[in-house]
């Protein structure tokens, strides 16, 4: 879209401005030409508070889509619902044409849709490599503990280990394989969270605030990893507060306010959308993530 001859050169990791959403109107709930995820009538209340109330939402395959909105807009709740880590009051959604509503997080992941999690205390006490292996698909060794299945189990363990090491090399964490995850820097933790989610070889990754707590020097490297996933054909949906990051790498932006999708569009559409400016950009909060009273 941009044809500004004076534009600064793209930062490392940024992509040429290709419009991957060509022909899609920037209106809430708009249909996408090749939607990998479609959600309908998704509602979730906590007591009297409606946290999520999404009429219709589609995510285009092979794009980076940002989910943005003010604190308490319902972004994390929507993530949790779609990935099977919370229960809806109402609503249906499908992933790659298959209904996945009502499935547990593990089953949703097996379908190819995974979300990242911040490293819990327990995970920080494990090594980087063990963190990866714990995220591996299928633990047939546990399910078929008999001696008969042992060769299958060993083969699977070896394959998991190989995949884990490949991913650790990709994210430049291989030298840290035997270190405790808790000893990693904020940026390295984010890389590990991303690497863990890729153990199941997903088609779509959902990143929860991938830049939170990351040293600015590592931001470009993380952005490079995210755009590389998209360029390999993966679909990325991410929640983020950093507007430079959002505007810099997103093919499409979905704006949530009070649980509803109030706008969708390319970064340029969102920047000039007065409803978004009123609901969000005009009252841009500067609080660090995690200052909310709820999780
Ligand atoms: N388990 C819960 N119990 C009660 N209320 C909750 C719960 N989880 C979320 N909420 C409420 O639902 C609303 C949406 O919260 P959510 O965390 O999804 O927003 P968010 O957009 O992710 O916010 P943030 O940007 O601050 O992370 C908020 O008002 C929040 O207080």
Atom of ligand 1 nearest to the CA of 70: 25
- Residue 21 placed within a domain: no
- Residue 291 placed within a domain: no
Residues 43, 72, single domain; the answer is: yes
Q: How far apart are CA 136 and CA 146, in angstroms?
A: 20
Mean pLDDT to the nearest integer, 71-79: 94
pLDDT at 163 over 70: yes
Gap from CA of 68 to ligand 1 centroid (Å): 13
Gap from CA of 257 to ligand 1 centroid (Å): 12
Residues 174, 246, single domain; the answer is: no
Q: Which of 61-75, 144-158, 209-223 has the highest mean pLDDT?
A: 61-75
Phi, psi of 150, deg, nearest 5: -60, -45
pLDDT at 148 over 80: no
Mean pLDDT to the nearest integer, 105-125: 89
Q: What does DSSP say about strands 252-257 and 235-239: parallel, antiparallel, or unpaired? A: unpaired
In the structure, what pLDDT confidence band is assigned to residue 218 with cuts at 50, 70 and 90? confident
Q: How far apart are CA 101 and CA 209, in angstroms?
A: 24
Which residue would you say has higher pLDDT here, 129 or 219? 129
In the structure, what pLDDT confidence band is assigned to residue 291 with cuts at 50, 70 and 90? very low
pLDDT at 89 over 70: yes
By most ligand atoms within 8 Å of CB, the mutation choice from 77, 207, 290 for ligand 1 is 77
Residues 49, 172, single domain; the answer is: no
The last residue of a domain, from among 201, 224, 243: 201
CATH number (domain holding residue 105): 3.40.50.300
- The count of structural domains within the chain is 2
Q: Which of 12-16, 49-53, 274-278 has the highest mean pLDDT?
A: 49-53
Model ipTM?
0.97
Provide the percentage of residues in the chain whose pLDDT is more than 70.
85
- Residue 184 placed within a domain: yes
Residues 103, 247, single domain; the answer is: yes
Q: Between vectors from CA 262 to CA 256 and to CA 263, what angle results, nearest 5°?
A: 100
Residues 266, 254, single domain; the answer is: yes
By most ligand atoms within 8 Å of CB, the mutation choice from 45, 46, 240 for ligand 1 is 46
DSSP 163: H
Gap from CA of 76 to ligand 1 centroid (Å): 7
Residues 139, 173, single domain; the answer is: yes
pLDDT at 140 over 70: no
- Residue 13 placed within a domain: no
The last residue of a domain, from among 170, 201, 232: 201
Gap from CA of 199 to ligand 1 centroid (Å): 28
Q: How far apart are CA 188 and CA 174, in angstroms?
A: 11
Q: How far apart are CA 273 and CA 283, in angstroms?
A: 14
Determine contact, residues 234/225, Cβ cutoff 8 Å: no
Residues 248, 275, single domain; the answer is: yes
Q: How far apart are CA 108 and CA 104, in angstroms?
A: 6
In the structure, what pLDDT confidence band is assigned to residue 289 with cuts at 50, 70 and 90? very low
Mean pLDDT to the nearest integer, 281-290: 49
Which of 62, 67, 14, 57 shows the shortest CA–CA distance to 37? Answer: 57
Gap from CA of 75 to ligand 1 centroid (Å): 8
For ligand 1, residues with CB inside 6 Å are 46, 49, 51, 69, 71-77, 292, 294
- Residue 242 placed within a domain: yes
- Residue 38 placed within a domain: yes
Gap from CA of 258 to ligand 1 centroid (Å): 10
What is the per-residue pLDDT for 4? Answer: 39
Average pLDDT value over all residues in the chain:
86
- Residue 5 placed within a domain: no
Range of the domain at 92: 27-112+202-286
Residues 209, 270, single domain; the answer is: yes
The last residue of a domain, from among 160, 178, 201: 201
Q: Which of 187-191, 250-254, 267-271 has the highest mean pLDDT?
A: 250-254
Determine contact, residues 183/192, Cβ cutoff 8 Å: no
pTM for this entry: 0.85
In the structure, what pLDDT confidence band is assigned to residue 12 with cuts at 50, 70 and 90? low
Atom of ligand 1 nearest to the CA of 241: 25
């Amino acid at each position: 879209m941009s044809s500004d001859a004076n534009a600064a050169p793209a930062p490392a990791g940024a992509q040429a401005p290709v419009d991957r959403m060509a022909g899609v109107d920037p209106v809430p709930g708009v249909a996408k030409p090749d939607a990998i995820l479609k959600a309908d009538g998704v509602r979730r209340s906590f007591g009297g508070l409606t946290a999520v109330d999404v009429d219709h939402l589609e995510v285009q395959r092979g794009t980076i889509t940002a989910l943005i909105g003010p604190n308490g807009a319902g972004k994390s709740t929507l993530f949790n619902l779609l990935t099977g880590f919370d229960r809806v009051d109402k609503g249906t959604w499908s992933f790659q044409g298959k209904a996945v509503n009502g499935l547990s997080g593990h089953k949703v992941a097996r379908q190819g849709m995974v979300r990242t999690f911040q490293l819990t205390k327990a995970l920080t006490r494990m090594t980087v490599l063990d963190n990866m292996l714990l995220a591996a698909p299928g633990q047939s060794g546990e399910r078929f503990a008999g001696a008969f299945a042992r060769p299958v189990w060993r083969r699977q363990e070896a394959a998991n280990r190989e995949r884990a090491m490949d991913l650790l090399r990709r994210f430049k964490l291989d030298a840290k394989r035997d270190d405790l995850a808790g000893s990693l820097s904020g940026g390295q933790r984010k890389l590990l969270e991303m690497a863990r989610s890729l153990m199941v070889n997903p088609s779509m990754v959902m990143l929860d605030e991938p830049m939170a707590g990351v040293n600015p020097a590592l931001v470009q490297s993380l952005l490079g990893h995210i755009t590389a996933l998209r360029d390999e054909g993966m679909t990325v949906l991410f929640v983020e507060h950093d507007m430079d990051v959002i505007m810099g790498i997103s093919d499409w932006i979905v704006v949530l306010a009070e649980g509803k999708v109030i706008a969708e569009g390319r970064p340029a559409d969102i920047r000039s959308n007065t409803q978004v400016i009123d609901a969000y950009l005009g009252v841009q909060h500067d609080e660090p993530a995690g200052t909310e009273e709820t999780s």
